[in-house]
Structure 1
Amino acid sequence: MSETFFAPCPRGLEPLLAEELRACGASHVEISHGGVASEGDWAYAYRANLESRIATRLLWKVGFTRYRSEDEIHRLASAVTWARHFDTINSIRINVTAIKSPLKSLNFVTLRIKDGICDHFRAIKGGRPDVDTHNPDMRIHAFLTEDTCTLYLDTSGEPLYKRGFKRAKVEAPLKENLAAGILKLSGWQPGQTLLDPMCGSGTFLIEAAQIALDVAPGLGRSFAFEKFRHFDAELWQSIRKAALARRRDDEMLPIFGADIDPRQISNAEANLEAAGLTGKVELLVCDVLDLDAPDDHGVLVSNPPYGVRLSSGDELYEWYPKLGDALKRGFAGWNSYFLTADLEMAKRLGLKASKRTPLMNGDLDCRVFEFKVVAGSNRP
């Protein structure tokens, strides 16, 4: 039986997510602002959770109505057959987002949805699930437009960019699904040399290594759908075993990371080890301005320091031209990709961007600048 799903993702990566979902078996794929709608059976839902590198989560549509007041949303919430999907022992959390909703309080809408769910369980089971806002078993998402309300049950649980291993805590981490999307945008392919010269805690490196070794990103974690009453454990195990069987185990990959801060390299080493990738990536403590290219050609990808993160004002603007000179001097033949919220970065580098892709990094309006560095591009 076909079900309807919606997968949110970082804005700007929707077409790439649509490709992923089709590869997982989706039908009726429809791209919208901030995510992708699709249809499919539960084998597809299991596979999408396991395999998608770009989705934030996979939401299962369980209810829809037109509304003019909170009471109609409450009626929808109490009419959904929640007791067929989970039980009163499962804790819940409700998230509400809205675009142009005339209702005055989303907190009140959240309360009315919770009341509707609990009313349903009291009528069917004689009890109600507890609310847990920190670590719930079931996440219910409501999306309001000007006159419609759609209810979703989250099949993922924790966001899918949480790959299942404990990361070293660092300032301004780059989310894994955004890093995976940028790698896809760059056109990098396994076997090509990849360098992140300001690698921080190693997010680009880990994502690239998992892609190169064909490691499904969800292999190290659990999912909310495993607690659904209709969960098909046998089907899930067969999908998971198939993903495990295709994992490669190359000794060393042409993937390189560098950072001027030894503590960041230590963090990257710890994260690679936690992800089961020890010895797959070469790391070096080095200033990007002094770095030698590890190959004659390759893909350079990085999330460099910008005002919100590490530096600001004159100090940063003096640094950009030095970075541009280093690229022109040492990286002819390389394609470089930088994620930044500084929309003036290209001009300050002294390089002409061949492509500018708008992306949202959380609430930050960013660009991925593409620079194709060719021999002789150094200007006086």
Structure 2
Amino acid sequence: MQSDNATPLQWFFACPQFIEPLLADELSRCGAESVKIGHAGVQAWGDLRFGYYAMLWSRLASRATLQLAQGFGKNQAELQTLLHSIDWQQHLRPEGTLKVRFFGLNDDIRNTQFGAQWVKDQIGDQFRSQHGIRPSVSNTPDLVVVVNLHKGNASIGIELNQHSLHQRGYRDLDTHAPMRENLAAALLIRAGWPELVVSEAELVALIDPQCAAGTFLIEGALMALDIAPGLLRQHTVAERWLGHDAELWNTLYAEAQDRRVTGLTNAERFEFWGNDRDAAVMAARADWRSINLPAARWTQCSLTTMPAPTIADKALVISNLPFEINANIVTVKPHYDALSAWMASLPPGYRGALFAEAAAPISLTNLFYSKEYRFLNGETESKLYTFERLVQKEHPAIWISDDLANRITKNLRKLKSFIKQRDINAYRVYDMDIPEYAIAVDRYADWLHVQEYAPPKTIDDKVAEQRLQQALLTLPAALGVDPNKIVLKQRRQQKGKSQYEKQGRVEQALTVIEHGVLFKVNLTDYLDTGLFLDHRPIRYWLQQHSKNKKVLNLFCYTGTASVHAAIGGADRVDSVDMSATYLEWAKDNFSLNNLQHDPYRRYRFIQANVLEWLYDCDEYYDLIFLDPPTFSNSKRMQDTFDVQRDHVALIDDAMRVLSPDGTLIFSNNFRKFKLDTEVENKYAVQDYRKQSLPLDFERDPKIHGCWLIKH
């Protein structure tokens, strides 16, 4: 393991995905003899001096692994042979400590935790056979062993960084920052900051108008002032590794200290300015001072009150553009307007870069971006947009669509009397009436629920995204709603239970009214809201026909049809569904309508597999509402359910418990559904699709099918 070994050592330096080419260039500058780009990392060949130097100076790597052996590893026997080919006594004392990081699976090892334990035992056996003792396991070990399995091959190495290389030491590990330090460094490189640093300009500025934790500024200063990231960490290299060359490390460390001193003499050539509208800027300032960087400019104000910058010859303005996947375009546009207006007011020699989630509406800035680069921020798909010139478009995009606004106004005029007569405040106002605006808009009281249809493959993604943004900016004025009360969802063809599954957001529940009946809806937590608006007429039909009847609601969902039946005077209402969540929701809907007091158990809520429950049912009902899902593969069901394949058997089971003069309302929303002729031959069937379609859904007659079936 000597630094002057004629045979170069093999290393693997890990990094975030999409940074690999930048890391490969960096490692070559660090002295690698050769490099090979891999997935989320780079293989490099070089001596120990190279490895130490890279750990000290790399701004992009996350971890550094010295590869010890590579070969076959498709089973335990092959992996054992590879492990025993390594003389572990060259790397670890018998009484030392170790930790194993295990990645991948093979024919015998099907669990990474087991794999790590098994590797530890194999290494321990080698020590025990020669010394009678074995190393112990520790979370702060002398040595970290890394094993990777992939397609029958294995690589075994030791991790020589003592802590993750992205951690510089200027930030508390518990502090939340928008991005890791090595990602910020990669963004600065793509934005052209290193070129500005070495340019002939007398004064160069780095500015972040929304600096938050200040990561861009600190990483940019470390680059400009030639400060090695490894100088800031208390421990960089694994000093308890037996192959550690303390003299070599100390020499490289001292050289880095000398370069830092020299770099700081050039500090007057650079200006660093961080701004934010909240107190996070003070934390960034404290981190800056903790590593003794030269004085910088810190301000706390909104973008609209930003002071003028110092006139620098050249500057880079870089910032993390705020956006969340469920963000409301209407509420972020003022922020984007203010940022782009401020950037466009800067001197001609300034360039810019904005980093954001890939879904962020960058076109709202009305700035011409030169290039875009793909990155991952954690697990979030993101992009960096670079701007060679900070110039706004002479003819910015028109963000209010008169065509869309006029169509919505026309629809509302048509629905006005319909809404009033039926005493409703939850209804559809727009459903892709204009093909360019591929959305459905439903109003729930004073909220809007907007669903985006997947655009045709012939439509460019950027065009589709811009039209969606334009639509969202048009809706508040056209419908008189608060921009903060718009919920956007993307509609895709759903399979199984996904249309009912929780989406993992904060609950936004409100109460709406329909034919005088109150319902709880939730606009955010699920793909659907808890109220199928297109079923409104058939629910009202149930209310009108339920007096003194026994009513059964199968696949009851949130029990809205059951409530209508109860309001209509049903003697008994049974609601059956497999989901406890939706049965609780159904009970809430009963409570909203003062139906919770039920001393005679007229209203029952039954959690069961509907197919099994119906098969075993021995009661009779006068009205049955049967609205099954298109497809179901619930974990609580032994078999899958397909409405086209299984509807005849399902209807037969329902008809078996229907009283002689009763009515089965059969409905489903599978657009290609065809009622089997066997059903029409067995029973009296009335096609009720046209009557069951409300006025606000007449543009989409295939949204559901509905039949009244009698004996």
Could you state the TM-score of these two structures normalised by the residue count of structure 1? 0.90
* Map of 1:301 onto structure 2: 318
Per the alignment, do residues 89 and 379 of structure 1 end up closer, same or farther by CA in structure 2, a change over 3 Å counting?
Answer: farther
- The amino acid that maps onto 1:302 is S
- The amino acid that maps onto 2:111 is S
The structure 2 residue matched to 1:275, chosen from 271, 288, 291, is 291
Distance 2:346 2:305 in 1: 9
In the TM superposition, what is the alpha-carbon distance from 1:83 to its structure 2 partner? 1.4
* Map of 1:215 onto structure 2: 227
The question of 1:229 aligning with 2:246 is answered no
The question of 1:242 aligning with 2:255 is answered yes
* Map of 1:137 onto structure 2: 142
The structure 1 residue matched to 2:271, chosen from 244, 248, 254, is 254
Per the alignment, do residues 125 and 362 of structure 1 end up closer, same or farther by CA in structure 2, a change over 3 Å counting?
Answer: farther
Task: Judge conservation of contact 1:79–1:120 (CA < 8 Å) in 2.
Answer: no
Deviations 1:350-375 (A, max 9, x none): 22321110111121111111123345
Greater CA drift, 162-171 or 215-224:
162-171
Distance 2:327 2:96 in 1: 47
Per the alignment, do residues 58 and 349 of structure 1 end up closer, same or farther by CA in structure 2, a change over 3 Å counting?
Answer: same
Task: Judge conservation of contact 1:209–1:280 (CA < 8 Å) in 2.
Answer: no
The structure 2 residue matched to 1:28, chosen from 34, 38, 52, is 34
Deviations 1:240-276 (A, max 9, x none): 1111112222454311111111x21211111112222
- The amino acid that maps onto 1:178 is L
* Map of 2:342 onto structure 1: 326
Greater CA drift, 184-193 or 68-77:
68-77
Per the alignment, do residues 374 and 322 of structure 1 end up closer, same or farther by CA in structure 2, a change over 3 Å counting?
Answer: closer
In the TM superposition, what is the alpha-carbon distance from 1:211 to its structure 2 partner? 1.3
Task: Judge conservation of contact 1:5–1:39 (CA < 8 Å) in 2.
Answer: yes
Greater CA drift, 57-66 or 288-297:
288-297
The question of 1:206 aligning with 2:214 is answered no
The question of 1:182 aligning with 2:182 is answered no
Task: Judge conservation of contact 1:320–1:349 (CA < 8 Å) in 2.
Answer: yes
Distance 2:79 2:9 in 1: 22
The question of 1:45 aligning with 2:59 is answered no
The structure 2 residue matched to 1:287, chosen from 296, 302, 310, is 302
* Map of 1:67 onto structure 2: 73
Deviations 1:282-338 (A, max 9, x none): 111122343234436421111232217xx8324335533343333234465432112
Task: Judge conservation of contact 1:84–1:229 (CA < 8 Å) in 2.
Answer: yes
Deviations 1:55-90 (A, max 9, x none): 112110012221222343234334421211121343
Task: Judge conservation of contact 1:209–1:281 (CA < 8 Å) in 2.
Answer: no
Distance 1:375 1:322 in 2: 14
SS of match in other structure, 2:92? coil
SS of match in other structure, 2:230? coil
Could you state the TM-score of these two structures normalised by the residue count of structure 2? 0.50
The structure 2 residue matched to 1:92, chosen from 86, 95, 98, is 98
Is there any run of 5+ residues in structure 1 with no aligned partner, and where? Answer: none
CA radius of gyration, larger in: 2
Distance 2:175 2:394 in 1: 35
Task: Judge conservation of contact 2:366–2:393 (CA < 8 Å) in 1.
Answer: no
In the TM superposition, what is the alpha-carbon distance from 1:126 to its structure 2 partner? 2.1
* Map of 1:14 onto structure 2: 20
Distance 2:389 2:50 in 1: 41
Distance 1:284 1:220 in 2: 26
Greater CA drift, 331-340 or 110-119:
331-340
Task: Judge conservation of contact 1:346–1:352 (CA < 8 Å) in 2.
Answer: no
Distance 1:131 1:164 in 2: 26
Is there any run of 5+ residues in structure 2 with no aligned partner, and where? Answer: 198-202, 397-711
| Aligned residues between the structures | 374
Distance 1:320 1:142 in 2: 46
Distance 2:95 2:395 in 1: 68
The structure 2 residue matched to 1:127, chosen from 122, 133, 137, is 133
- The amino acid that maps onto 2:359 is L
Q: Which has the higher contact order (CA 8 A, sep 6+)?
A: 1
In the TM superposition, what is the alpha-carbon distance from 1:101 to its structure 2 partner? 5.2
Per the alignment, do residues 145 and 210 of structure 1 end up closer, same or farther by CA in structure 2, a change over 3 Å counting?
Answer: same
Task: Judge conservation of contact 1:328–1:378 (CA < 8 Å) in 2.
Answer: no
Task: Judge conservation of contact 2:28–2:34 (CA < 8 Å) in 1.
Answer: no
Task: Judge conservation of contact 1:205–1:281 (CA < 8 Å) in 2.
Answer: no
- The amino acid that maps onto 1:249 is L
Greater CA drift, 163-172 or 32-41:
163-172
Per the alignment, do residues 153 and 320 of structure 1 end up closer, same or farther by CA in structure 2, a change over 3 Å counting?
Answer: same
Greater CA drift, 68-77 or 49-58:
68-77
